[in-house]
């Protein structure tokens, strides 16, 4: 049965959300049973008669006494506490138990028994039971219990949608009380559902509220955002075969040194993995071509868990006949992190083996047994020769089995050397293996054709959806440009090549940038700003931070500068070391692997005093520390490396509302480029939200709150009022707004949004002007809640901010990026409207304006570049140009508005001149050359006619790599001479021809057909 929203509303008024859930479960084939009619001992929760009936039907060959023993084995759990007993039952439920017996002929027999038939849902009994009282420490009656074969596997706690005194948070709180009052029920609990009618969420019974989530799809491909959440949850997860699949394959326990954590998959993991399982069945040889596909689940949304679940399901598929799963990564740090996650999920995947060397890998893959093997791709190397033996020229075949699946984590460049290299060796070693890629970032299309390597995209879970689902928190971007100065005047002679990201091989350029970035004055300024920003942020939101520096040298400099400041918390540098080359002063920062792992555990612990780590590359990928909420970036990054780095801040953690990226070097444009890769690959949502955009949202939210008040409510003198006058003013506003439920509810919702935005923009000085608006809105909202007896339905991420805001709104002494860039402030409104086409259609148009202005600047630079045809005369000049470009990268997107204003008129003049002359962009530079010599040109018509002919002559004779071909250059000279012959004297021809050729070389040097 499917209800329209209006029908749902009516139905819920007539009955309750409990009855609605029962009706929908009945539609799904569940049998509704009134618990008060069950002949059951109130102290017991397992319906043993039902379980015994199932075992008798399923295993009729067992002697009756053994059938009774089996019931007792499944009903009795072992463990020191509730969670351990729950795990003990889960393992017996999903993996079954072995029983031995003698048949009628006294022959020894053995049988493996499951209390549920997972393969054939129709063989089980599904009961939806309500009104069932259970006696423990206290007598309690959960709203609904789902019994499968007499086992109470799912508990629903539901609150009435129309009871203003209750909400979903209270439903979860009640579950907590149940675990104390009737713990025997939760020994068997696989899944808990909480709902207040409006919201419906699923989770593990012992989890906190941030780990409960809505189920947003019924079919796994279409998201349902505006439906009745309970309907989507039930029809998306509770069809019988799906619920059994979820219980068996998508729930597991992690053992962290004796502390158990129970985890269950979210909807995107459930559907993504199941789609991948079906894809594997079709793709695995000899049925398919071995290309299973790609799972793209954005950073922080549980990709490692999905991989572990997927491996566990593949291992259990009978048609794969005990497969070998090779989990392959491209770096050892990723390898170790993912390996740890798989080991923690051993309930699902079983024992995991780690290849420690090339020989170890070859030994593991040469055996015929299945299992999970971890390796880095570089272990598929060829063996080198020696004096007695030649080296390998081709990788040997290690196994020709067809049930080998290679799971590539973060598959990027290393996957695409299919003709030579490690990827080629891997395929030669395992010629019949099948491949699936798991990635948190889109694979760069420039590196290779992803479809050729892995196959079609199986499932996408993008940034936008992850943030909406609260699977990750949003990331905000705050540019705080710290200008680079070239301190080494003798750069040509003194620069030393340094190791830097392979994304830019120009080591000399990077050395100069590193030198400038590490200047003592600049580092000291940034360190002071970081400490000030971090203290302000942690005053209201406890958490930790990462500082990303350009090099190990600069990381140490930053450490020294930070720790020299008064009030600095504990800081550590995390970096690799080379004791034969590194300065002795770096020794305290060089650690063994064990010491680094110990440091990692400290940093992950939100209560540990280690609050800031400084890194260059380490811990920027494959590292999760949910308590990290801020990253300070002083290193140029791009592409997937940038995306992986910034998403260290997007993990869900307690009341953490967001992550913040503070940019000192100018990565704004790189973020935009990375965003384009996300949206171009089928995903939605930007990786960060610009702080300017956040401020615009904050301003708009203030306006919305004020508009709901109506007129005649003047709180402008709020801070000067006595407490009793404040109360009278709030009372006056309350009297107006409480009359209309819709308006009052809307006001509470809008104030919540306002306070949420406040926690993001709190450090911005502009919000000082709106402090009174926020104070009054919060006081009035609280008064409305008290008057209506409505309690907050969700944790307020800004509770601490609310307490502080009642005293004052404080802000950082923010670096003025305009002043630092040496430019004057300007009002963007004076730009010609043609530059802001479309922006006026959007009230919140800052993002559109920035994008348009950025494009204008790029066009302006492109226009001037053809005129700059002189090559750099020294390395120093080239380095200065690189540094200038990085300044423009930052200013371009976020702070160049003033500079653009100065240039706008000039650009308009250039456009006007081109239009009047009837010339193209390509022709304008040639026009300037020819027009400068018009007195020597014998042409009755306009000079433009000569320009058109000359440019056509040049372009008609261009060919690939023409600048390195003398014949090609000669052909161009000849063509231009023909056009100028008769128009220019022989004595002047060579001079003007030389300038035209220089311009052609500068303008068309990289010409492509």
736 or 412, which is more confident: 736
Give the pLDDT confidence of 782-804 residue by residue, as tens digits: 888 776 643 333 333 233 322 22
Task: Please give the pLDDT value at position 874.
Answer: 32
Any long-range contacts for 582-585 (C-beta under 8 Å, 24+ apart)?
A: 582/552, 585/556
- What average pLDDT score do residues 25-35 get? 95
Specify whether the CB–CB gap between 663 and 722 falls below 8 A.
Answer: no
pLDDT value at residue 325: 93
Q: Is this model's pTM higher than 0.85 or not?
A: no
pLDDT score, position 742: 82
Question: If pLDDT is split at 50, 70 and 90, which confidence band does 837 have?
Answer: very low
* Reported confidence tier of residue 169, pLDDT bands at 50, 70, 90: confident
Torsion angle of the four alpha carbons 762, 764, 766, 769, in this order, in degrees rounded to the nearest 10: 30
Among 556-560, 961-965, 975-979, which stretch is predicted with the lowest mean pLDDT?
961-965
Look at residues 659, 775, 671 and name the one whose alpha carbon lies nearest to residue 723: 775
Residue 802 CA: distances (Å) to CA of 568, 775, 777, 778, 789: 26, 9, 11, 8, 20
pLDDT one-digit tens code per residue, 179-206: 999 999 999 999 999 988 778 899 999 9
Indicate the pLDDT class of residue 493, thresholds 50, 70 and 90: very low
pLDDT number for residue 243: 97
- What lies within 8 Å, CB to CB, of 970 at 6+ separation is none
Quote the pLDDT of residue 804: 27
What single-letter DSSP state applies at residue 396? Answer: P
Per-residue model confidence (pLDDT) at position 40: 63
Higher pLDDT, 513 or 318: 318
Residue 963 confidence (pLDDT) above 50:
yes
Which comes out higher in pLDDT, residue 35 or 856?
35
Q: What is the pLDDT of residue 737?
A: 82
Find the mean pLDDT for residues 452-470: 79
Ranges 591-605, 925-939, 945-959, most confident: 591-605
pLDDT score recorded for residue 882: 32
Confidence of residue 265 (pLDDT cuts 50, 70, 90): very high
Is residue 90's pLDDT more than 80? yes
Q: Which residue has the higher pLDDT, 995 or 309?
A: 309
With a cut of 50, say whether residue 78 has pLDDT above it. yes
Burial of 260 (0-12, 13-18, 19+ CB in 10 A): middle
147 vs 522 pLDDT, higher one: 147
> Contact at 8 Å (CB) between 294 and 310?
no
List, in sequence order, every beta strand (DSSP E) within 276-403: 291-297, 324-329, 352-354, 371-376
pLDDT at 982 (0 to 100) = 76
Tell me: pLDDT of 674 over 70: no
More confident residue, 764 or 27: 27
Share of the chain above pLDDT 70, in %: 74
Model pLDDT for residues 842-869, shown as the tens digit of each residue: 323 333 333 344 444 444 444 444 443 3
The alpha carbons of the chain give a radius of gyration, in whole angstroms, of: 34
Cα separation of 799 and 120, whole Å? 49
With beta carbons less than 8 A apart as the criterion, state whether 635 and 548 touch.
yes
Go through 278-303 and write b for each residue having 16 or more CB atoms within 10 A of its CB, e for each that does not: ebbeebbeeeeebbbbbbbbbbbbbb
Reference 869, options 999, 1004, 992; nearest CA is: 999
Of 892 and 381, the structure prediction assigns the larger pLDDT to 381
Q: What pLDDT does 159 receive? A: 84
| For range 559-587, the mean pLDDT | 92
Summarize pLDDT for 629-640 with one digit per residue, the tens: 999 998 888 777
Asked if 904 contacts 836 with a C-beta cutoff of 8 angstroms, the reply is no
pLDDT of the residue at 97: 92
What is the arithmetic mean of pLDDT over 66-81?
Answer: 93
Phi, psi values for residue 115, rounded to 5°? -80, -10
């Amino acid at each position: 049965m499917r209800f329209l929203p209006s029908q749902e509303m009516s139905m819920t008024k007539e009955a309750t959300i409990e009855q609605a859930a029962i009706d929908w479960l009945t539609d799904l084939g569940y049998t509704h049973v009134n618990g008060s009619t069950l002949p059951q001992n109130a102290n017991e929760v397992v319906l043993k008669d039902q379980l015994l009936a199932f075992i008798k039907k399923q295993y009729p060959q067992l002697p009756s006494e053994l059938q009774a023993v089996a019931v007792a084995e499944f009903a009795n759990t072992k463990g020191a506490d509730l969670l351990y007993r729950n795990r003990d039952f889960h393992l017996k439920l999903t993996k079954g138990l072995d029983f031995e017996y003698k048949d009628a002929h006294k022959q020894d027999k053995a049988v493996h028994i499951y209390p549920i038939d997972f393969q054939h849902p129709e063989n089980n009994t599904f009961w939806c039971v309500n009104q069932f009282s259970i006696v423990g420490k206290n007598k309690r009656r959960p709203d609904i219990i789902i019994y499968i074969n007499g086992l109470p596997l799912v508990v629903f706690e539901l609150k009435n949608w129309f009871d203003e005194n209750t909400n979903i948070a209270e439903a979860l709180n009640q579950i907590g009380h149940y675990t104390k009052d009737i713990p025997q029920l939760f020994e068997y609990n696989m899944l808990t559902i909480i709902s207040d009618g409006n919201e419906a969420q699923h989770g593990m019974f012992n989890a906190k509220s941030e780990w409960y989530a809505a189920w947003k799809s019924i079919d796994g491909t279409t998201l349902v955002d505006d439906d009745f959440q309970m309907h989507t949850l039930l029809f998306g997860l509770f069809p019988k075969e799906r619920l059994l699949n979820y219980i068996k394959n998508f729930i597991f326990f992690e053992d962290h040194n004796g502390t158990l954590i129970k985890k269950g998959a979210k909807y995107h993991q459930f559907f993504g993995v199941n789609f991948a399982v079906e894809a594997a069945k079709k793709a695995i040889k000899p049925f398919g071509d071995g290309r299973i596909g790609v799972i793209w689940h954005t950073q922080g949304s549980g990709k490692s868990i999905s991989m572990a679940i997927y491996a566990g399901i593949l291992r259990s598929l009978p048609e794969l006949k005990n497969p070998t799963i090779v989990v392959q990564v491209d770096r050892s740090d990723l390898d170790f992190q993912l390996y740890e996650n798989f080991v923690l999920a051993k309930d699902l995947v079983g024992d995991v083996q780690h290849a420690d060397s090339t020989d170890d890998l070859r030994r593991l893959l040469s055996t015929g047994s299945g299992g999970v093997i971890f390796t880095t791709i570089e272990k598929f190397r060829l063996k080198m020769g020696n004096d007695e033996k030649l080296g390998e020229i081709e990788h040997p075949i290690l196994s020709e089995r067809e049930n080998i699946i290679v799971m590539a984590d973060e598959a990027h460049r290393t996957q695409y050397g299919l003709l030579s290299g490690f990827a080629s060796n891997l395929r030669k070693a395992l010629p019949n293996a099948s491949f699936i890629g798991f990635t948190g970032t889109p694979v760069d299309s420039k590196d290779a054709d992803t479809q050729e390597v892995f196959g079609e995209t199986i499932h996408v879970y993008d940034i936008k959806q992850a943030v909406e689902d609260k699977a990750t928190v949003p990331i905000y971007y705050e540019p705080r440009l710290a200008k680079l100065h070239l301190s080494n005047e003798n750069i040509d002679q003194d620069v030393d090549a340094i190791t830097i990201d392979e994304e830019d091989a120009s080591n000399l350029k990077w050395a100069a940038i590193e030198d400038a970035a590490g200047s003592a004055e600049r580092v000291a300024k940034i360190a002071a700003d970081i400490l000030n920003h971090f203290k302000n942020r942690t005053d209201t939101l406890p958490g930790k931070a990462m500082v990303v520096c350009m090099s190990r040298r600069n990381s140490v400099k930053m450490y020294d500068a930070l720790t020299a400041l008064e009030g600095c918390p504990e800081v550590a540098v995390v970096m690799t070391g080379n004791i034969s080359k590194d300065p002795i002063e770096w020794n305290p920062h060089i650690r063994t692997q064990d010491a680094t792992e110990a440091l990692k555990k400290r940093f992950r612990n939100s209560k540990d005093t280690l609050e800031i780590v400084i890194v260059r590359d380490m811990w920027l990928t494959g590292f999760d520390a949910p308590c990290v909420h801020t990253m300070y970036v002083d290193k140029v990054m791009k592409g997937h490396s940038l995306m992986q780095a910034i998403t260290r801040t997007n993990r869900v953690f307690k009341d953490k509302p967001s992550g913040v990226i503070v940019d000192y070097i100018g990565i704004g444009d790189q973020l935009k480029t990375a965003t384009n890769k996300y949206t171009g690959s089928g995903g939605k949502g930007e990786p960060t939200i610009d702080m300017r955009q956040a401020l615009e949202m904050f301003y708009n939210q203030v306006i919305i709150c004020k508009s709901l008040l109506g007129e005649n409510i003047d709180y402008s003198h709020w801070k000067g009022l006595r407490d009793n006058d404040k109360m009278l003013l709030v009372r006056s506003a309350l009297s107006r707004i409480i009359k209309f439920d819709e308006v009052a509810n809307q006001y509470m919702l809008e104030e919540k949004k306002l306070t949420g935005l406040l926690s993001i923009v709190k450090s911005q000085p502009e919000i000082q002007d709106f402090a009174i608006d926020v104070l009054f809105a919060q006081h009035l909202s609280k008064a409305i809640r008290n008057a209506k007896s409505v309690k907050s339905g969700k944790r307020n991420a800004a509770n601490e901010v609310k307490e502080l805001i009642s005293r004052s709104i404080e802000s950082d002494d923010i670096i003025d990026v305009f002043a630092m860039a040496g430019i004057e402030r300007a009002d963007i409104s004076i730009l010609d409207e043609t530059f802001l086409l479309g922006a006026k259609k959007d009230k919140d148009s800052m993002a559109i304006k920035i994008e348009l202005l950025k494009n204008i600047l790029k066009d302006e630079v492109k226009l001037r570049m053809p005129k700059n045809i002189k090559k750099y005369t020294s390395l120093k000049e080239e380095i200065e140009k690189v540094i200038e470009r990085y300044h423009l990268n930052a200013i371009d997107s976020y702070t160049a508005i003033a500079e653009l204003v100065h240039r706008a008129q000039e650009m308009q003049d250039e456009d006007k001149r081109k239009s009047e002359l009837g010339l193209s962009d390509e022709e304008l530079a040639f026009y300037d050359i020819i027009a400068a010599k018009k007195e020597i040109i014998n042409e009755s018509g306009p000079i433009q006619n000569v320009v058109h002919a000359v440019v056509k002559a040049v372009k008609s004779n261009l060919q690939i790599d023409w600048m390195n071909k003398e014949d090609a250059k000669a052909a161009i000279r000849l063509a231009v001479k023909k056009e100028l012959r008769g128009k220019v004297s022989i004595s002047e021809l060579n001079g003007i021809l030389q300038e035209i050729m220089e311009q052609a070389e500068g303008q068309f040097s990289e010409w492509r057909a």
